[in-house]
Amino acid sequence: MELCIAHLFPELLNLYGDGGNIICMQKRCEWRDISVQVNPVHCGDKVDFTHTDIIFVGGGTDREQKIVCGELLAAKQQLRDYVEAGGVLLAVCGGYQLLGHNYLLGNELVEGVGVIDLKTERGEGRLIGNVMIESAICEMPIVGYENHGGRTYLGDCEPLGKVTSAGGYGNNGQDGYEGVHYKNVIGTYLHGPLLPKNPQVCDYLLKTALSRRYGSDFAFPELDDTVENEANLYMQERLRDNVVN
């Protein structure tokens, strides 16, 4: 079996090790004898997601987001078709914000691709720290690190999860929700990178992508996640001890 991953704008959107999510997907496939091809998409490239199984887009500063925004808008229709057809997509922070309708930065409106019904606006101060959420996509709590000035408000779509009492701000620091889960798209504020400490989230994405390509009947061996789970538990403990970073 094989999977094809499109990594959008790796040089511009790679805050807090987001590119590690690609390495994690590659390794967890390699350990299962699934071959992976990663296609970086750079500014100016013509995009074609016909043979793409997973799209990944990381986070970036407001400046970098503004640079890629025009590029994403040029690929808007392809992205919309891909998402509506059930394509798997993981977007982190700045990339997550750009999937929505727009990002209001003071009196400047940065247009998003609008493939998901959400919008973001810059608030007072930044929402920074470790975060733990509970999500229906996996049993283990999802842990990560957030650092964003934008506050995201969901429209007609479901959050990825709920911020736990252990801590974190999530989408906007008000409604207690984090991220978005729309069709096979996951958007989240969680950096870290996200997937190495949350192997169940990684496997959720891989399994969804494999079943799209190969149907529901394929071998997906369990891996020994002792180290990954220890990292997850370590984060949980730090949160419970109220350690911010």
Active site residues: 93, 191
**Which range binds ligand GLN by CB under 6 A, 57-65, 75-83, 154-162, 163-171?**
57-65
Cβ-in-10-Å burial (0-12, 13-18, 19+) of 198 comes to: buried
Nearer to ligand GLN, 4 or 195 (CB): 195
In residues, how long is the chain?
Answer: 245
Nearer to ligand GLN, 44 or 125 (CB): 125
- Helices marked H in the chain: 20-30, 62-74, 76-84, 94-98, 194-197, 199-214, 226-240
**How many residues belong to the site for ligand GLN (CB under 6 A)?**
12
CB of 39 to ligand GLN, least distance (A): 22
Asked if 117 and 99 touch (Cβ cutoff 8 Å), the reply is: no
Q: Contact between 94 and ligand GLN (CB under 6 A)? A: yes
- x/- mask, ligand GLN, residues 64-83, rule CB under 6 A, reads -x------------------
Q: Which of 60, 141, 170, 179 binds ligand GLN (CB under 6 A)?
A: 60
Q: Give me the residue whose beta carbon is nearest to ligand GLN.
A: 59
- Residue 201 to residue 190: CA distance in whole angstroms: 12
Asked if 16 and 193 touch (Cβ cutoff 8 Å), the reply is: yes
Nearer to ligand GLN, 114 or 149 (CB): 149
User: Contacts with ligand GLN in 131-160 (CB under 6 A)?
Assistant: 147-150
Q: Contact between 171 and ligand GLN (CB under 6 A)? A: no
SS (H, E, C) 183-219: CCEEEECCECCHHHHCHHHHHHHHHHHHHHHHCCCCC
Q: Contact between 15 and ligand GLN (CB under 6 A)? A: yes
Report the interface residues with ligand GLN, using CB under 6 A: 15, 59-62, 65, 93-94, 147-150
